[in-house]
Structure 1
Amino acid sequence: MTNIDERLPVRPGHMEAGELAEPIVAYAAHLSGLGYTALTIKGYTDSARHLGAWLALSGLTISALDEHALERFARHKCRCGGNRSSDRLSSKYVRRVHRFTYYLGDCGIIPKVAPAALVVDPSVARFGEWLRRHRGLSERTIARHVRMVSRLLPALGVDPDAYDASRVRAVILDEGTRCSAAYVKTMAMALRGYLRFLATRGECRPGLDHAVPPTPDWRLSALPRYLLPEDVTRLIEGCDLSLSHGIRDRAILLLLSRLGLRAHDIWAMEINHVDWAAGTVRVRGKRRREVRLPLPQEAGDALLAYLEDARPLVDERRIFLRSAAPYVPFASSNVVSTIVRSALRRAGISDAPSQGAHLLRHSAATAMLRAGATLDAIGAVLRHQSPDTTAHYAKVDLATLCLIAQPWPGDA
């Protein structure tokens, strides 16, 4: 086949979108509906028009637009026309073209390119479904457990009836030579769950979960990582309320620091979760347990200011959205931790004991304790399942600990 670069030594004066002309017009309207500016839309449609011109010059039709064709487009030395100053395409430019093809797939103009499916053993797939139906775990946690068990399965073997304590122990000890202690601890937890699942189905001998060796980790041995109240105030006051994302970030920081919410709680919060008349907010925590928490006045005012003045006017149930187009919910709860890190940097707090959203959860707990709240009350707000977890915060109440501390043996 003749190379397009050889057939077209002279660059045409302009690009013709060819078969993609009408889809590009609809694509521009779609981007406008998502809130993109005219300049950004032009950049996206220009790259889509380039794809159409390349297809026509290559003698290809829309039906030939697949991953192989897109790879060829990304590598081609451009002679497609127009006033492009470079013959090569940047990675950003190619990503824009890929986004246009995703739009074509959503519209049914071209077949969608399905991502490669993860090959999972049937028993592990049933384990994932068991976690979903009977354990109430989130999809993210289920996917992690399935992935980790799948990694261990070649060493364990496909016949659960042949599992014994020595094999189970050897598998984890072997992983410990290659992975961090934190990763092995999570992997051991997934394996224990898998062995319990198999035992309930009679596929392996019961009690093998006890053969999984513990990972050295002294639970709750360190002091809680928290900020002092004055640092939390600096964090919140550092938000620029002249910007829409500053109003949004202030509401998020107040919810985290006043109610001790998790990053996932913020990410999943929907408009109908807030009961303005009762002054409460509904939160779905771990294991899908829902509770209603009182909404502090300051946090409620900040949330209302975001909803009325800064939140994009889009039909979306989630409360917190991106501040730039497309106006959609955060991709994951990790974005909430990114907001906290940015706030720490703005406030000039360089010695924070941690950088994520959980820092403000710990700060809320310690602030409640110092204000005189009981551990039971703190556990109720933080939604702890075990009182031992809440007792962790008693370590920061040094004044009370001094009253009950016993003298060291041998001291005069």
Structure 2
Amino acid sequence: MTMALRGYLRFLTARGVCRAGLDHAVPIIPQWRLSSLPRYISSSDVETLIATCDQTTATGVRDRAILLLLARLGLRAGDILSLRLTDIDWQQATLSVRGKGRRETRLPLPQDAGDALLAYLDQARPHVADGRIFFMSNAPIRPLTGSSAVSDVVRGAIRKAGIPAPSNGANLLRHSAATAMLRGGATLDTVGAVLRHRSPDMTAHYAKVDVTMLLQIAQPWPGDA
């Protein structure tokens, strides 16, 4: 709103109906980057979400593979949608991911996520020539498209689990993976490498949820008895 107001005042100045410099009277609203806390759920709640998947159905097998990739590797919704069969190296147990900027990164594929992915490919994935991995379960058979499709999987699991969650999109599990790694003793550099952050500031954002570590450096509040 303030940017629009300044632009309007500059427009009026150019038209000669407003004195020059009046746009400087509009105050700047302070905004602190990464000032909010990451939205995440506990590791036990993550496991509860994964356990909601009905592995007797094709949809449940697919959703379990998606949830495990989100929770174990901190993938984005776009990463899930763009995964192709050629991105999996079964011999080396790695997964190739192309994130923002199309940069390719090879990530270690955890055992449970790899098992779930193999189960989906073997039991539930439609037999199509398309190289993409994840497909819609209902006809017409087509690849998953749009980040909302991945977020719908997370939302459905949250609803089934009946757990309180600060958000219900795919990023919830990405944030949860980062906080779990940090609390498990991983360094910020390691977390940043897994999440493929370009800036260390993005990774440092998660340090705010490690209350145990922060208590070690917290100073007494002035005047506190």
Q: TM-score range by the shorter chain?
A: 0.7 to 0.9
Name the structure 2 match of 1:331.
145
Matched, 1:383 2:204: no
User: What amino acid does structure 2 have at the position aligned with 1:275?
Assistant: D
Deviations 1:250-277 (A, max 9, x none): 0000000000000000011000001110
CA drift of 1:397 comes to 0.7
RMSD (Å) for aligned C-alpha atoms: 2.2
Matches within 5 A, 1:194-205: none
Identity %: 62
Matches within 5 A, 1:253-264: 253-264=67-78
State how far apart, in whole Å, the 2-side matches of 1:298 and 1:245 are: 18
CA drift of 1:215 comes to 6.6
Deviations 1:306-330 (A, max 9, x none): 0001111111111000111121111
CA drift of 1:376 comes to 0.5
CA drift of 1:335 comes to 0.3
Larger relative contact order, structure 1 or 2 (CA cutoff 8 Å, min sep 6): 2
Matches within 5 A, 1:140-155: none
State how far apart, in whole Å, the 1-side matches of 2:52 and 2:221 are: 45
| TM-score after normalising by structure 1 | 0.48
Name the structure 2 match of 1:219.
33
User: What amino acid does structure 2 have at the position aligned with 1:410?
Assistant: G
Matched, 1:398 2:186: no
Divergent runs of 4+, >6 A: none
Name the structure 2 match of 1:293.
107
SS in structure 1 opposite 2:216?
helix
Structure 1 residues 233 and 411, CA gap change in structure 2 (3 angstroms): same
Q: 2:129 aligns with which of 309, 315, 326?
A: 315
State how far apart, in whole Å, the 1-side matches of 2:9 and 2:124 are: 50
State how far apart, in whole Å, the 2-side matches of 1:226 and 1:173 are: 43
Q: Which entry has the higher C-alpha Rg, 1 or 2?
A: 1
Matched, 1:271 2:85: yes
User: What amino acid does structure 2 have at the position aligned with 1:396?
Assistant: V
State how far apart, in whole Å, the 1-side matches of 2:29 and 2:108 are: 38
State how far apart, in whole Å, the 2-side matches of 1:302 and 1:171 are: 56
CA drift of 1:297 comes to 0.5
SS in structure 1 opposite 2:55?
coil
Runs of at least 5 residues in structure 2 that lack an aligned partner in the other structure: 12-26
Matches within 5 A, 1:122-201: 169-170=6-7
Name the structure 1 match of 2:63.
249
Name the structure 2 match of 1:229.
43
| TM-score after normalising by structure 2 | 0.87
Name the structure 1 match of 2:155.
341
Runs of at least 5 residues in structure 1 that lack an aligned partner in the other structure: 1-165, 175-212
Deviations 1:108-135 (A, max 9, x none): xxxxxxxxxxxxxxxxxxxxxxxxxxxx
Structure with the larger helix share: 1
State how far apart, in whole Å, the 1-side matches of 2:165 and 2:86 are: 34
Q: How many residues align?
A: 208
